[in-house]
């Protein structure tokens, strides 16, 4: 786990270390992530590094927190300002995540995280299995969603709807980051899938 000493650092130094970690993951390609290179980039000592982090898995947590906090903040604002419209919020969520990656370095890191970072997939697996809290934080945002207009509003069906919507979102992100399909195509297909789900695929008996 990331140690409290990291969060107690002055903001400028914490950002410098975070930037060094992002740069290392964006440039490491098929190599293993190097703590030595991060130390040099961040201009800190090895002893300081281990005052902040226990292991390399903590580096994944730094990356994920950096992206997830940005996305969740915007998601919370969108969800609360949309009158609880779950489909509108999910439509905006893809745009929000894509906007975070407009920076070339961020896009590279997100692409590698999405594809399990190849050479470093053991780090990603360990983090996602035992430490990732983003899902819990995401669920906090769902409190803004209204079930009033949903055909199946009970807890079980609502959870299943969230799983379906999240699955569609993950597929769109995979196509955008890993398959590197054009943004407009992925966005169009993603929103079309949401529209089909929202409207229902079957015609009503009156038509």
What's residue 97's pLDDT? 80
Report the distance separating Cα 151 and Cα 53, nearest Å: 47
Residues 78-92 have pLDDT tens digits of 777 777 888 988 998
- Tokens 């009503």 label which residue? 204
Query: Is the pLDDT assigned to residue 71 strictly greater than 60?
Result: yes
Q: What percent of the chain has pLDDT over 70?
A: 76
Give the pLDDT band of residue 107 (cuts 50, 70, 90).
low
Query: Is the pLDDT assigned to residue 116 strictly greater than 50?
Result: no
**pTM across the whole model:** 0.64
What CATH architecture applies to the domain 4-199? Orthogonal Bundle (1.10)
Average pLDDT of every residue of the chain: 79
Report the distance separating Cα 166 and Cα 163, nearest Å: 5
Residues 12-33 have pLDDT tens digits of 999 899 889 888 877 765 557 7
């Amino acid at each position: 786990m990331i140690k409290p000493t990291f969060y107690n650092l002055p903001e400028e130094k914490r950002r410098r270390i975070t930037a060094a970690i992002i740069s290392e993951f964006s440039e490491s390609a098929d190599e293993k992530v190097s703590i030595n290179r991060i130390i040099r980039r961040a201009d800190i000592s090895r002893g300081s590094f281990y005052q902040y982090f226990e292991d390399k898995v903590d580096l994944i947590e730094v990356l994920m927190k950096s992206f997830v906090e940005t996305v969740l903040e915007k998601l919370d604002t969108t969800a609360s300002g949309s009158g609880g419209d779950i489909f509108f919020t999910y439509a905006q969520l893809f745009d929000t995540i894509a906007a975070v990656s407009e920076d070339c370095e961020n896009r590279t890191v997100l692409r590698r995280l999405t594809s399990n970072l190849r050479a470093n997939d053991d780090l990603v697996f360990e983090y996602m299995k035992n430490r990732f809290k983003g899902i819990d934080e995401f669920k906090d945002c769902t409190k803004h969603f209204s079930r009033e207009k949903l055909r199946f509003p009970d807890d079980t069906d609502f959870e299943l709807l969230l799983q379906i919507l999240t699955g569609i979102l993950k597929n769109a992100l995979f196509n955008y980051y890993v398959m590197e399909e054009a943004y407009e195509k992925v966005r169009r297909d993603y929103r079309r899938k949401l529209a089909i789900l929202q409207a229902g695929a079957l015609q009503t008996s009156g038509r």
